[in-house]
Structure 1
Amino acid sequence: MSPSTNQPLLTPRHLAMLRAVAAGRGEALCGCEPDLLIDGRFCDHLATHELFHAGLIITAEPGPIGRRVAADITDIGRQALTVA
Structure 2
Amino acid sequence: MTIAKELSNRAKAMLKAVAAGRGQLSGGVEPDLYVDGLPCCDQATTHALVHAGLLRARRAVGLYERTDAELTDAGRAAIA
Instruction: Give TM-score scaled by structure 1 length.
Output: 0.86
Report what 2:55 is aligned to: 57
Shift in Å, 1:32: 2.1
The one-letter code matched in structure 1 to 2:50 is F
Residue equivalent to 2:18: 21
Structure 1 runs, 4 residues or longer, greater than 2 Å off: none
Alpha-carbon RMSD: 1.6
- Bigger fraction of residues in helix: 2
Unaligned runs of 5+ in 1: none
Residue equivalent to 1:72: 70
Unaligned runs of 5+ in 2: none
User: 2: CA distance between counterparts of 1:46 and 1:33?
Assistant: 9
Higher relative contact order (CA 8 A, sep 6+): 2
Pairs aligned (count): 78
Per-residue CA deviations over 1:38-63 (Å, capped at 9, x if unaligned) read 01111110110010000000000001
